[in-house]
Amino acid sequence: MAEYDYNAYRAAGGGAQPLRVAALANWFGAVLSLSLVAGIGYWSYNLMVRDVTGIPVVRALEGPMRISPDNPGGRQAAYQGLAVNAVAADGQAGGIADEVVLAPQPIDLTAEDVPARSGATPSASDIDTTRALEVAFRPGPDEGADDEPESSVARAVISGMVVEVSPRPRARAGYPAGGGTASAQSSGGPDLMAQAAVQALTSQRGTPRQIDIDPATLAPGTRLVQLGVFDTAEIARAEWDTLATRFSPHLDARGRVVEAAQSGGQTFYRLRAHGFEDEGDSRRFCAVLLAQNADCIPALIR
pLDDT digits 0-9 by tens, 110-153:
777 767 655 555 555 566 666 666 655 555 544 444 444 445 54
Closest CA to 257 of 242, 244, 272, 247: 272
Say how far apart CA 132 and CA 86 lie, in whole Å.
Answer: 35
Say how far apart CA 52 and CA 100 lie, in whole Å.
Answer: 69
Q: What is the pLDDT of residue 249?
A: 80
The residues pairing with 300 across neighbouring beta strands, listed in sequence order, are 223
Please report, as a single letter, which amino acid is at residue 130. Answer: T
User: In angstroms, what CA-CA distances link 294 with 91, 154, 270, 290?
Assistant: 10, 30, 15, 5
Closest CA to 170 of 180, 179, 160: 160
Q: At what angle do helices 192-205 and 148-165 cross, to 10 degrees?
A: 160
Q: What is the pLDDT of residue 27?
A: 92
Contact 255, 210 (CB under 8 A): no
Triad 144, 146, 151: Cα angle to 5°:
115
pLDDT by 10-residue block (mean), the chain, 302 residues: 60 62 91 96 86 67 81 73 75 74 76 62 59 58 47 51 48 48 46 65 50 86 89 90 86 87 87 88 89 89 84
> Which class for 286: exposed (0-12), middle (13-18), buried (19 or more C-beta within 10 A)?
buried
Say how far apart CA 254 and CA 216 lie, in whole Å.
Answer: 17
223 backbone dihedrals φ, ψ, rounded to 5°? -90, 130
Q: What is the pLDDT of residue 62?
A: 82
Q: What is the pLDDT of residue 101?
A: 74
202: Cβ–Cβ under 8 A, 6 or more apart, which residues? 136
Please report, as a single letter, which amino acid is at residue 169. Answer: P
Say how far apart CA 284 and CA 290 lie, in whole Å.
Answer: 10
CB atoms within 10 A of CB 251: 24
Q: What is the pLDDT of residue 5?
A: 63
Q: What is the pLDDT of residue 28?
A: 94
